[in-house]
Amino acid sequence: RKEGGHLTEQEYIRRAESLKEQLYRTAAVYLGSPSDAVDAVDEAFYKGFLAYSKLRQPEFFDTWLTRILINVCNSELRRRKRELAVAELPETAQEEFDALPLKEALRRLPKDLREVIILRYFTGLTLEETAQALDIPRGTVSTRQKKALSLLRLELTDE
């Protein structure tokens, strides 16, 4: 039962499933942990499921669901910051594994630059799709991408 191009429940599930791999890669880069990435994708699927009937333009489904995932990842990162503030954790094997030069360099980028790099290079979105997912102009994506890449280059050559 379709009115005005709205998605059916089956279509939501099918399209979300076909994006799963890409969303998982995005979440893994954001959160640095495979199990947290699985949780984030599950939560994004659930939030998307509650809201898909309100999606006015199904052709923007991929960037819409990606934006939901980014929000889930960002709130997880905020929650972690609060937890860390409560108890400073000792170095763990997991943290040493995560301190690979690229991951570390990515983490040090300002959030707005980091998001562009994750979506463009780890998620594989086009400039246009990245602009839609972040709700910013295409030119801004381009500028942030250039800035981020030059910062990453500096960071990585310092190693």
Q: What is the mean pLDDT of the chain?
A: 84
The DSSP line for 89-134 is PPP-HHHHHHT-HHHHHHHHS-HHHHHHHIIIIIS---HHHHHHHH
6-48 pLDDT per residue, tens: 889 999 999 999 999 999 999 998 998 899 999 999 999 999 9
Q: What does the domain layout of the chain look like in residue ranges?
A: 1-89, 97-159
Which CATH code for domain 97-159?
A: 1.10.10.10
Per-residue pLDDT of the chain (159 residues; tens, 9 = 90+): 344 468 899 999 999 999 999 999 999 989 988 999 999 999 999 999 999 998 988 889 999 999 999 999 999 988 887 766 554 444 444 454 455 677 778 888 888 999 998 888 888 888 999 999 899 999 999 999 999 988 888 777 765
CATH class belonging to 1-89: mainly alpha
- In percent, the amount of the chain with pLDDT more than 70 equals 84
Asked if 6 and 58 count as a contact pair (C-beta separation under 8 A), the reply is: yes
- Classify residue 25 by burial, with Cβ atoms within 10 Å: 0-12, 13-18, 19+: middle
* Equal fold, 1-89 vs 97-159: no
- Taking the model in full, what pTM does it have? 0.67
